[in-house]
């Protein structure tokens, strides 16, 4: 067997006439390798897959599959080397499912020899994709997810060494998402090479051997998921703050976005919000929010604390954190933003040294933020500060009315208890209590 990569993309430039979508992309897939292709919408993932299967000829560079340049091959020869599962699973005519899967054998049929291996390949593909029970149904009668599995079965029946998949889990329920990616991984363990564009970063990290990050027409990083998926890289590529921590169940990286991209105002990418004394809510001023003159200390846990730390750091404040749960989401986000953090085990009492370290940060802070549901001991730690903002998860508590979202209150009383905690309202609440601190009424 050759030591050359099964799929070898060499410095390709490709597009559709209005300028290149891909500009100098190089990437390889080995036999036995499952590579996840991730990146924002419009990054060129589909374009890259189309250059690999020969649908799109690059303007420059070349793609080799199993040692042959794809665009030098006939369609029949290329289809014996690489099979495709496209995004669009529409089938033009109302063929029975079995007939659709049988189409995958077309490259293997000879004029005289027929296809002696065809029946076995078709049955195996139907069985492995759990579509044998649909074999006699018209493909148009199936749901989108069922049709997706039929198209995957057609690709498996094609029996190629290389497999490219464009969002193969997009129309599937959770059960079949997992089963599909487990199947692709099993196929690579049998010697195939697979490259799949996957929208869900958590699924990609869990099932793929390597991830390739595509953005702005080029591959920005390639490697094991735990090396490629960092909060800094996710923020840069997807334009949203994120925390990346290992899953306690699978050990694979999990990505938690910390704000909606449409609410990027508080991360310095959009607008500042200003308090309206008449309506009691914020209004857009068109300015970038900055807290560069403030030091803010965050005490809390979970998503509320993580989002608060990321939001305030991005808005330019000098942020400290603690006490937060050791190795939890808030601690991970704090590390991503180089925030000085005091951590403690979530299941043990806070010892004297840890409490003293947190109090030192509080003493230096202009504003203290309580984020998430906290035990009385941590609330007591902050209660004597004269400028406090509370960001809660919205569940129980006398000030919480909207139980479906986080809420925010400032000790100035100028934010309503049911104000939704967006980056903009967090920044504005911190600014308000810094301007007009009063004694906490906790």
Mean pLDDT estimate for the chain: 83
The three-state secondary structure class of 247 is coil
Q: Please report, for residues 294, 329, 400, 411, 429, the alpha-carbon distance to residue 439 in angstroms, rounded to integers and kept in the order given.
A: 19, 30, 21, 8, 16
Residue range 357-372, pLDDT digits in tens: 999 999 999 999 999 8
Which has more pLDDT, 101 or 292? 101
Least confident of 34-48, 118-132, 261-275, 421-435: 261-275
pLDDT band of 297, cuts 50, 70, 90: very high
pLDDT at residue 438 above 70?
A: no
Handedness of CA 301, 200, 267, 263 (dihedral sign): negative
For 164-173, what is the mean pLDDT?
A: 91
Spatial distance between the Cα atoms of 177 and 190, rounded to a whole number of angstroms: 20
Q: What are phi and psi of 91, to 5 degrees?
A: -110, 130
Mean pLDDT over 301-306 rounds to 86
CA distance linking residue 72 with residue 310, whole number of Å: 50
The sign of the CA dihedral 141, 173, 37, 181 is negative
Higher pLDDT, 195 or 307: 195
């Amino acid at each position: 067997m050759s030591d050359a990569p099964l799929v070898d993309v060499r410095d390709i430039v490709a597009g559709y006439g209005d300028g290149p979508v891909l500009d100098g992309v190089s990437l390889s897939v080995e036999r036995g390798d499952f590579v996840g292709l991730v990146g924002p919408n419009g990054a060129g993932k589909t374009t890259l897959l189309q250059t690999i299967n020969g649908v799109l000829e690059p303007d420059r560079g070349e793609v080799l599959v199993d040692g042959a340049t794809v665009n030098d091959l006939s369609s029949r020869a290329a289809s014996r080397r690489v099979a495709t599962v496209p995004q669009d699973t529409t089938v033009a005519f109302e063929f029975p499912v079995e007939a659709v899967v049988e189409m995958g054998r077309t490259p293997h049929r000879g004029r005289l020899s027929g296809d002696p291996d065809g029946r076995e390949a078709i049955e195996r593909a139907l069985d492995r994709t759990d579509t044998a029970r649909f074999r006699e149904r018209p493909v148009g009668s199936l749901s989108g997810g069922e049709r997706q599995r039929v198209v995957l079965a057609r690709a498996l029946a094609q029996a190629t060494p290389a497999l490219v998949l464009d969002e193969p889990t997009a129309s599937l329920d959770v059960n079949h998402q997992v089963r599909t990616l487990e199947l692709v991984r099993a196929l690579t363990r049998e010697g195939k090479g697979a490259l799949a564009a996957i929208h869900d970063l958590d699924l990609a990290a869990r099932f793929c051997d390597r991830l390739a990050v595509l953005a702005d027409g080029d591959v920005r990083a390639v490697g094991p998921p735990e090396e490629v998926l960092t909060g800094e890289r996710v923020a840069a590529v997807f334009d949203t703050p994120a925390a990346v921590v290992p899953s306690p169940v699978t050990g694979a990286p999990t990505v938690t976005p910390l704000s909606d991209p449409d609410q990027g105002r508080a991360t310095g990418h959009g607008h500042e919000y200003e308090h309206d004394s008449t309506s009691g809510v914020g209004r857009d001023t068109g300015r970038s929010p900055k807290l560069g003159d403030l030091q803010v200390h965050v005490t809390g846990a979970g998503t509320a604390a993580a989002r608060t730390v990321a939001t305030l750091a991005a808005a330019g404040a000098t942020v400290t954190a603690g006490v937060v749960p050791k190795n939890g989401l808030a601690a991970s986000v704090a590390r991503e933003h180089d925030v000085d953090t005091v951590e403690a085990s979530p299941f043990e009492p806070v010892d004297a040294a840890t409490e003293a370290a947190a109090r030192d940060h509080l003493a230096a802070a202009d504003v203290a933020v309580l984020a998430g549901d906290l035990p009385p001991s941590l609330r007591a730690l902050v209660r004597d500060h004269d400028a406090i903002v509370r960001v809660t998860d919205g569940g129980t508590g006398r000030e919480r009315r909207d139980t479906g979202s986080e809420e925010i209150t400032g000790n100035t009383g100028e934010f309503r208890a049911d104000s939704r905690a967006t980056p903009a309202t967090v920044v504005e609440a911190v600014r308000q209590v810094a301007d007009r601190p009063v004694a906490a009424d906790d």
